[in-house]
Amino acid sequence: MNRVSGRQATCLLLVVLGGWSLTMTAADGRDGWIALALACGCSLPLTALCCLPAERMPRTRWFDLPAAAFGVGWGTAYLATLSALAFCSLCMSVLGGVIFLRTVSGGQWPVWLLAAAVLLCAAAAAQGERLALWTEPVVWVVVAALAVSLLLSVRQLDLSQLWPVLSDGWRGVPARAYLLLSAPFGEVFYAAAVLGGTGGRTRTGLLRACVLAGVLLCLLYVRNICLLGEAGAQAVLYPSYTAASVLEFGESFQRGEALISGSLIVCTVARAALLLDFFAGSLQTATGRCSARQAVWGAAAAAGAVCVFAAGGNRAFADALHLYQLLLLPIVGAAALALAAGVWLRTRK
Amino acid sequence: MLALLCLSLCGCSWRDAGDLSAVTAGAVARDGGRYTLTAELAVPSADSAVPDARTLSGTADSLAQAIDRAGAGRDTQLYWSHARVLLLDTALTRDGIEDAVRALTVSSEVRPSVRVCAVSGCAAEEVLTEGGSLSGDPAGFALGDSMDLAVRQSRAADMPLYRVLDRVLADGIDPVLPAVSLEDGQAVLSGTALFSGDRLCGWLDETQTAALCILLHAGDTATVYDGDMRHKLSDLSASVRADAGEGGTPAFAVDVRADVACESDGQARRAAAALRAQCVQAVETLRRTGCDALGFGRAWRQADAASYGSAADGAWRSVPVTVRVALRGTQSAEGGSE
């Protein structure tokens, strides 16, 4: 059983979800923050559902749960499916970070170098307790960077950009909330699995992270709309980055974007490390042949190759991300529900 | 490794400063679908504290290619992050600026905080190639200084690139750009270019520009002229409101409040009356040209989205506007005009 505390669970998930703040678009206009808040609210029962099996049937590792709940054959199939899903999530995560960095740094860094650097760091950190220890201090840097960016922009905000609220009614809000619940919040499934844990410790930590991340993302979304204008924020690829680059704080501070972009790299590494850890754990348990380190480095190398060959334009990535958001929630939701049901059937008196 | 990646984001890579040529200003022109981009470089001079000016041009079918071509064939890379102003040619502003502004905003080269100006009376590149400044600095660089001061003093609209894009794309509000021209070989601010949507629709002179800037609440201070008397305004605030009117059509109210430095109550009242007259004149010009710079349409939409949605394009131009100016004398004198 791992010894990750609730506070460490909060830090890890907050860093993972915090990366979304920089790559999110403002495509939903001035009411997008409502969809974000709705997704955040809906992520709480999803998180509780993901944590439930490990609490009800404690095992040394979460990856032993499927076999205990479904039997060895179905448990292996369950883990094999999820390891494939985790690899897709890993590729999307690294691609998102790499395309962002390539776009904002003007393309002078080759894609392969960025992908390799991110994956090397992630592979080195990919082990539940080590990752949790690493993110505990890092979360302060990430949150402080985003908070400073928010505070510096207060003077320049035009709050009238938010009015009228819901002028088109609720049309479109649930669909958008679904996509946001899927990614980023759906990836709480991986965190719940990697951190495992018994009692309410991990669950409380993850729930707290969802709420904090939701508040942070909503604030940043509102800031982007009020600073860049609704139409202006919708027209740019990365509103948070653009908003940070137009902050005015005297002559000496003119590189706010570097501050928050640095935190995106950290968030991408943490997210990739979490996904690598989940992939390695599930693959190792499913096959019973490779070691966790072999799986981590193998997956990192494979993801690097996929990212180098698949890194297209921003439009192509946006389409891929949309598809990913459409598919992730049903799969993760079904996996969490099936495991919870299997565990409940096994443990009922 | 993470630190190296972070450094790459702020333009600090393995290059040293000698490998970069700082661009201080740019000019964009479009002719038959082809963009010409002119970059002004400030080249340090060994003999003088003032840098020499040098201009480079690139022409291509897209702005991104034009930016690349402007710097092609040089030993050093053009570094656009220090550009302070971007000048748009008159032909480009007449044809529509949306494509150019959108391309520049999403470009990773130019910062979205660079201020955009419209050139009148000459080609945009001439301001950089032919123009000079009293200080001897490159024309574009000096224009950046002038613009900073003018924005703070409410003599020019503050229009960075990202704001121009928002105004161009937003429903119910239009952009305005500070106008730049050449006078006796000097690049100077000369009023304001008005836009309807993304197309140039008129110009304001310096007096009307000052009133418009107060209405836009662009700067910290402003000056109002009452005949020969000159009064300094501070603590400015301005708002546009749409009140319910007859038959679903609203009535607009423009409110301006400020502190005015004056010696008597009568002076404050006269200053308020003078400012109100200038504001009314500026609003009339906006209505006549169809430039909704003050966001009358947006105020209407916020007050009553249904009637705004059913109104014809430009319906705001026929809606009555009331301008109210309230100036508070900083030496216990009050003034107001309605």
Query: Could you tell me the mean pLDDT of each successive run of 10 residues in chain B, 338 residues long?
Result: 55 54 92 92 78 89 90 77 92 95 87 94 92 81 92 92 95 95 91 96 93 86 85 91 80 93 87 94 95 93 84 89 91 52
What pLDDT score was predicted for residue B130? Answer: 87
Nearest to B6 among A118, A245, A265 (CB): A265
- Under an 8 A CB cutoff, do B13 and A114 touch? no
What is the spatial distance between Cα B97 and Cα B164, in angstroms, rounded to a whole number?
9
Token representation of residue A127: 């082990």
What is the spatial distance between Cα A241 and Cα A255, in angstroms, rounded to a whole number?
10
What pLDDT score was predicted for residue A312? Answer: 76
Residues of A near B (Cβ–Cβ under 8 Å) read 101, 103-109, 114, 117-118, 120-121, 160, 163-164, 167, 228-237, 242, 245-246, 248, 254-255, 257-258, 261-262, 265-266, 269
What pLDDT score was predicted for residue B178? Answer: 97
ipTM reported for the complex surpasses 0.90: no
Q: Which residues of chain A have pLDDT under 50?
A: none
Phi/psi region, residue B11 (left: phi>0; alpha: psi -120 to 50; beta: rest), is: left
Nearest to A164 among B106, B111, B305 (CB): B305
How would DSSP label each residue in A13-48? Answer: HHHHHHTHHHH---TTGGGHHHHHHHHHHHHHHHHH
Chain A interface, best mutation among B1, B2, B4, B5, by max A CB count within 10 A:
B5
What pLDDT score was predicted for residue B39? Answer: 94
Tens-digit pLDDT profile for residues B206-250: 999 999 999 998 678 898 888 788 889 999 999 999 988 777 678
What pLDDT score was predicted for residue B289? Answer: 96
Phi, psi for B57 (deg, rounded to 5): -130, 150
What pLDDT score was predicted for residue B229? Answer: 84
- Under an 8 A CB cutoff, do B109 and A257 touch? no
Residue B188 is classified by DSSP as E
What is the spatial distance between Cα B272 and Cα B279, in angstroms, rounded to a whole number?
10
CB proximity list for A262: less than 8 A, separation 6 or greater: A145, B2, B5, B6, B9
Nearest to A32 by CA among A155, A173, A139, A147: A173
Rg (chain B; Cα; Å): 22
What pLDDT score was predicted for residue B214? Answer: 93
Residue B178: cis peptide before it, omega within 30 degrees of 0: no
What pLDDT score was predicted for residue B14? Answer: 47
CA distances for B320 relative to A44, B9, B204, B280, angstroms: 51, 50, 21, 12
What pLDDT score was predicted for residue A313? Answer: 79
Helices (H), A72-110: 72-104
CB-facing half-sphere around the CA of B220: CA atoms within 13 A: 4
What pLDDT score was predicted for residue B338? Answer: 47
Task: Count the neighbouring beta carbons within 10 Å of the beta carbon of residue B247.
Answer: 5
Task: Count the neighbouring beta carbons within 10 Å of the beta carbon of residue A331.
Answer: 17
What pLDDT score was predicted for residue A271? Answer: 92
Residue B51 is classified by DSSP as P
| H/E stretch holding A195 | helix A188-195
In contact, A166 and A38? CB cutoff 8 Å: no
